[in-house]
Structure 1
Amino acid sequence: MKQAKLSLMGSAILLALASSANAASLKDTDVEFGGYIKADIMFSDYGNGAPDSGDISRQFYVPGTIYGKEGNGNQVVDFQARETRFNFKATTDVDGHKLSGFIELDFMTHTDGNERTSNSYSPRIRHAFVSYDNWTVGQTWTTFQNAAALPENLDFVGAADGTPFARQTLLRYTQGNFQFAIENPETTVTPNQGGARITSGSGVIPDVIARYNLKTDGGAAFSFAGIIRQLNLETKIGATQIDSSALGYGASVAGIIPVGKDDLRFTATYGEGLGRYMALNYINAGVLDANGDIESIRTFGGFVSYRHWWNEQWRSSVTLSGMQADNDVALTGSGVNKDAYSGYINLLYSPSKPLTFGVEYMYAKNSKENGDDGDLSRIMFSAKYVL
């Protein structure tokens, strides 16, 4: 009994010391907690049959996932709170240098839960990075994307087919309006004559990205980004050993232009071998020719979104988005994705600044080179409370 009491006393002392040390370390540190709670109700109509319950297309619009599943009904309703997220940020002054860390998690994309009983889904890392003065290292938005220019849509991504979109680990240096980064490389390739996507993490050259951010006196904000990347594949397909690389490159311009209280948002992107950087990897970066060499695939896409404020509490956004690939069908086969388009219109109401209710209608259509297509119509109701 005496030993147990001593153990408990020791534990209490250790906890007290730990609390004191933590308080001392936080003395010159600003700690912020943030995020939001968001609940969605989605009524969806898939032209060729809805995906199974829990499928990623039932969570938000992902180009390439709406071709349908034969035998399933077309119309479904989904309730979810998966987009709910939380984050922590700590900022410290270290001898005149600014040190900060940020981590954010949500519950999207997972299929490990179910809708039968608890709807329990695993958290996933969205952002996890450290910044020291002008340097940033960790996982966050790719430098090739301007996330600030995304439209205010209720859909999780919104304009997914027309925007660069990726979060990944990177090392970035910012100097004034310029940003330079090396980022995680990952190559996606279509086999010769078509087939299942080949994903390659081989190669030792990171993706290299540069970006320039510009703000005008009138309140407009623009970004100009360029990327150079190596497409690399070292693997064995059947009895054939593949060891090939090719050059990928691209450019993207994005912006927000004030129109009175309203604003116009846009992004336009073009490149060869962009692959996963565009439209959630709707198109692969390259295709193998008969000799096992990678040929890059050209893509271009963009979106435009106009947001109108009816008054201080009511607003609407109208968004048009799309992208297209220049496939060499002689290499890719005719079963590959060709183009994707989507449109959105919504009405949002904020009775107070942190609280928003909204309704949104979206329509999307995807097509393949062989003429097959899929379409999705969705009405979405959301409630969001920013913490």
Structure 2
Amino acid sequence: MRWTRGIGEGLKLMIAAETPDNHIIQGADALTAWPDGVLSLVWDQAPVHLMGSFVARDLRASFNNGPTDSAFGWGGSVSGKVGVPFIAEKDFITFSVTYGEGIGSDLNDQPSDAVFDSAGIGLEAIPVFGWFASYQHWWSQQFNSTVVYGFLEADNREAQSPDSFKSSQYASGNFVWMPDERWLVGIEGLWGEREDKDGADGTDFRTQFTTRFSF
């Protein structure tokens, strides 16, 4: 459920309540019933589009049907799309920076929101920090490329298992041909790395071919 109101030229306020069923609790069953609360402020004045957001979450869980414990989750994010017509008319940069505690499940790699420590500390929200930036360049009216880099890190709690998510990073680049405004053909390479709490890590590379036709 979302309420939106314009509060000035190119400026609008959004307030939302979102379902909490995506919460990820490590070591216990998630029991959250209250919706996540989201407050966003959007500024849109070409060639700049910016959004600042804040989320508040009620994290609740129980271990083996025992007493329920709770923790407060929160996070802030700034994202945007900025045109760079001084480089090329259609080129633009996108970016996002996010920090918070108990919001991991809202991010692409979905680290845990919280961990349940049955030894006595109870439910602990896990801090996370992530960002990404991309640049799209149009070589001509039919050809364009986008390069992206992203990074995400969790500040692991003592109670988390050794194989818990610690950090990830990825980089990608593509080349896209649009023979018609409704038809797209492209190829992309993507490299990624993950590291766990115990220091174990691994990398992978993927090549992807895509085509899309819009009716």
Summarize deviations over 1:323-347 as a string: whole Å, max 9, x none: 000002x211322110011100000
Relative CO higher for 1 or 2, CA cutoff 8 Å, sep ≥ 6?
1
Inter-partner Cα distance in structure 1 for 2:145 and 2:185: 12
Greater C-alpha Rg: 1
Inter-partner Cα distance in structure 1 for 2:51 and 2:206: 31
Counterpart of 1:293?
122
Inter-partner Cα distance in structure 1 for 2:69 and 2:121: 7
Inter-partner Cα distance in structure 1 for 2:153 and 2:51: 22
Summarize deviations over 1:285-337 as a string: whole Å, max 9, x none: 11112226111100010110000000100000010011000002x21132211
1:350 equivalenced with 2:178 (yes/no): yes
SS of corresponding position for 1:363? strand
Inter-partner Cα distance in structure 2 for 1:386 and 1:292: 54
Match of 2:25 among 170, 185, 189: 189
In the alignment, residue 284 of structure 1 is paired with which amino acid?
A: S
Give RMSD over aligned pairs: 1.4
Match of 1:331 among 135, 139, 159: 159
Inter-partner Cα distance in structure 2 for 1:199 and 1:269: 26
In the alignment, residue 272 of structure 1 is paired with which amino acid?
A: E
Counterpart of 2:3?
173
Contact 2:175–2:186, Cα closer than 8 Å, also in 1 = yes
SS of corresponding position for 1:276? helix
Q: Which runs of 4+ in 1 moved over 6 A?
A: none
1:265 equivalenced with 2:108 (yes/no): no
Inter-partner Cα distance in structure 1 for 2:206 and 2:32: 41
Counterpart of 2:78?
253
In the alignment, residue 253 of structure 1 is paired with which amino acid?
A: V
Summarize deviations over 1:84-119 as a string: whole Å, max 9, x none: xxxxxxxxxxxxxxxxxxxxxxxxxxxxxxxxxxxx
Equivalences for 1:234-245 in 2 at 5 Å?
A: 234-236=62-64, 241-245=66-70
Equivalences for 1:66-105 in 2 at 5 Å?
A: none
Inter-partner Cα distance in structure 2 for 1:386 and 1:348: 15
Contact 1:244–1:292, Cα closer than 8 Å, also in 2 = no
Counterpart of 2:196?
368
Contact 2:100–2:127, Cα closer than 8 Å, also in 1 = yes
Contact 1:242–1:292, Cα closer than 8 Å, also in 2 = no
Change in 2 beyond 3 A, CA 1:361/1:203: closer
SS of corresponding position for 1:270? strand
% identical equivalent positions:
27
SS of corresponding position for 2:159? helix
In the alignment, residue 96 of structure 2 is paired with which amino acid?
A: T
Counterpart of 1:310?
139
| Runs (5+) with no aligned partner, structure 2 | 7-11
Inter-partner Cα distance in structure 2 for 1:382 and 1:203: 39
Equivalences for 1:204-215 in 2 at 5 Å?
A: 204-215=33-44
Summarize deviations over 1:26-81 as a string: whole Å, max 9, x none: xxxxxxxxxxxxxxxxxxxxxxxxxxxxxxxxxxxxxxxxxxxxxxxxxxxxxxxx
SS of corresponding position for 1:332? coil
Q: CA deviation at 1:185?
A: 1.1
Contact 1:344–1:362, Cα closer than 8 Å, also in 2 = yes
